[in-house]
Amino acid sequence: MKKEIPFNDLYAHYQSMKQEINGAIQDVLEKTSFVRGPHVEEFEVNYAELMQSEHCVSCANGTDSLYIAMKALGVQEGQEVLAPAHSWISTTETITQAGAKVVFCDTEADVFTIDPAEIRAKITDKTVGIIPVHLYGQAANMTEIMEIAKEHSLWVLEDCAQAHLATHKGQQVGTFGDVASFSFYPGKNLGAMGDAGAATTNIKKLADQMAKFARHGGLVKGIHEIEGINSRLDGLQAAILNVKLKYLAGWTQERQRIAARYTELLSGIDGLECPTIAEGNEHVWHLYVVRTDRRDELAAYLKEQNVQTSINYPIALPFLQAYERLGHKHEDFPNAYRNQSQILSLPIYPEMPDEFVVRVCDEICNFYATTKTK
Ligand SMILES: *Cc1c(COP(=O)(O)O)cnc(C)c1O
């Protein structure tokens, strides 16, 4: 059996900063600051600064940050929220949980983010907001999206779960809309060692409302202005994130190096399409996603060669059983529908050695050289 090439390597990631992480964990234990506390407060200040936002409200996970943001925006029953047809389900299940109706928009043909033309087409008098997702680490077309939002007085909630530090025309994602949500799930570009999330905003009222809602409806002990939820960041995760923040820019460069190498070694293969970077974007490569008509065959071949791959995501949101009630047909979202059977995510993580990248590409070349289209 050939040496395994993992999709991600969280063990190598931990080893690269083991002493610091262990020290940070020890500090939380000694201070018994398990839920919120000084490490969480420090993280919120640090993260707001890194994301170039005035306020950061931390919470239990990225899904909650979307929900909390929508509750603070005042989302209500009868309202409609626009979201891309291809994303992780958190983006849209939280719209429903906040009480509004999910309205799907197809993604663009060449990139995997929400199509501004679809946004225009789906706006009704019930539409209140847009959730662009910077999928795989590349910004959606925020220039056009912000123009549309302004024209129609819609709020914009950026789902930045996969795109920490990505930019569009030199501006960092998360700073375009009213509010941005982030996930620190362990495999994300900035990951905790458990679940964690945050929302950032420049609007103080929104930040206060989000903090209140996430903490049982009140920030002062014994006072509950509204009913809220319990979604707090714990001290261990905050201390770990505080260690990791300073490395994020370097890890992003490593991801960019690997992505460039993939594109260099894979472009020119007939039948395989490397990812496109839209003009003006700096991609942070949470995932490196190729497209091919022979996706399932290629994935099976790579598995035989002991190369792990992933499909993100194999069923576009409108076609999931969870959204059966909306009665969508494949032709309603032609790009998302085509992509779901063509996309394949290749291994990418900051510690990935170049020899692994080369081997993945060699295996892919071998696949196209030695197998025939069925
Ligand atoms: C990971 C992710 C989320 C949710 O984050 P969790 O921390 O896992 O709850 C939301 N949106 C997108 C696009 C994601 O990839």
Does residue 350's CB lie within 6 angstroms of at least one atom of ligand 1?
A: no
Q: Is 200 in the pocket of ligand 1 (CB under 6 A)?
A: no
**For the chain, how many residues are written?**
374
Per the structure, the count of domains in the chain is 2
Asked whether 161 lines ligand 1 (CB < 6 A), one says: yes
- The DSSP secondary structure of 309-331, one letter per residue, reads -B-S-SS-GGGSGGGGGG---GG
In the predicted model, what is the mean pLDDT of residues 311-330?
A: 98
Structure-block tokens of residue 223: 């006072």
Assess whether pLDDT exceeds 80 at residue 77: yes
Q: Are residues 240 and 260 in the same domain?
A: no
Q: What CATH number should be reported for the domain holding residue 147? A: 3.40.640.10
CATH number at residue 356: 3.90.1150.10
Q: What percent of the chain shows pLDDT beyond 70?
A: 99
Name the band, by pLDDT with cuts 50, 70 and 90, for residue 277: very high
Contact between residue 208 and residue 92 where contact means Cβ atoms under 8 Å apart: no
Ligand 1 within 6 A of CB of 91: yes
Does 1 fall in a domain? no
At residue 276 the predicted structure's pLDDT band, cuts being 50, 70 and 90, is very high
Pocket flag, ligand 1, residue 158 (CB < 6 Å): no
Q: Where are any strands of DSSP class E within the chain? A: 55-59, 80-84, 101-105, 127-130, 155-159, 167-168, 171-172, 179-183, 197-201, 281-282, 288-291, 343-346
Instruction: Identify whether residues 90 and 204 lie together within a single domain.
Output: yes
pLDDT > 90: what percent of the chain?
98
CA of 61 to the centre of ligand 1 (A): 8
Give the pLDDT band (50/70/90) at residue 308: very high
Both 99 and 23 in one domain: the answer is: yes
Torsion of CA 270, 274, 280, 281, to 10 degrees: 180
Among residues 291, 334, 331, 284, the alpha carbon closest in space to that of 311 is found at 291
Q: Where are the alpha helices (DSSP H) in 55-136?
A: 62-72, 90-98, 116-122
- pLDDT tens readout for residues 236-260: 999 999 999 999 999 999 999 999 9
> Does residue 93 have its Cβ closer than 6 Å to ligand 1?
no
Rounded Cα–Cα distance for residues 298 and 341 (Å): 12
Cα 183 to ligand 1 centre (Å): 5
| Cβ of 175 below 6 Å from ligand 1 | no
Q: Is residue 180 part of a domain?
A: yes
Cβ–ligand 1 distance for 313 under 6 Å, the answer no
Q: What is the average pLDDT across 336-351?
A: 98
Is residue 374 predicted with pLDDT exceeding 60? no
Q: What is the mean pLDDT of residues 151-168?
A: 98
Check residue 372 and give its pLDDT: 72
Put the strands of the sheet holding 171-172 in their side by side order: 171-172, 167-168, 281-282
Say which amino acid occupies 125. Answer: D
State whether the beta carbon of 87 lies less than 6 angstroms from ligand 1. Answer: yes
For a mutational test of ligand 1's pocket, the pick from 185, 231, 285, i.e. the residue with the most ligand atoms closer than 8 A to its C-beta, is: 185
**pLDDT of 23 higher than 80:** yes
For residue 5, being part of any structural domain is answered with: no
Based on the domain organization, do 236 and 306 belong to the same domain? Answer: no
Q: Are residues 34 and 121 in the same domain?
A: yes
pLDDT over threshold 90, residue 91: yes
Residue 3 lies in a domain: no
Q: Which domain holds residue 117?
A: 10-245
pLDDT at 1: 82
* pLDDT at residue 373, as a whole number: 64
Do 49 and 195 lie in one domain? The reply is yes
For the chain, how long is the longest CA-to-CA vector?
Answer: 70
196 within 8 A of 35, measured Cβ to Cβ: no
**Are residue 204 and residue 222 in the same domain, yes or no?**
yes
Q: Is residue 4 in a domain? A: no
Residues 206 and 340 grouped into a single domain: no
Choose one of 8, 88, 93 to mutate for the ligand 1 pocket test, by most ligand atoms within 8 angstroms of C-beta.
Answer: 88
Q: What is the pLDDT of residue 371?
A: 84
Last residue of a domain, one of 245, 263, 285: 245
- Note whether 267 and 238 are same-domain residues: no
Residues 107 and 194 in one domain: yes
Distance 368 CA to ligand 1 centre (A): 34
Q: Are residues 165 and 112 in the same domain?
A: yes
In-domain check, residue 42: yes
173 CB near ligand 1 (under 6 Å): no
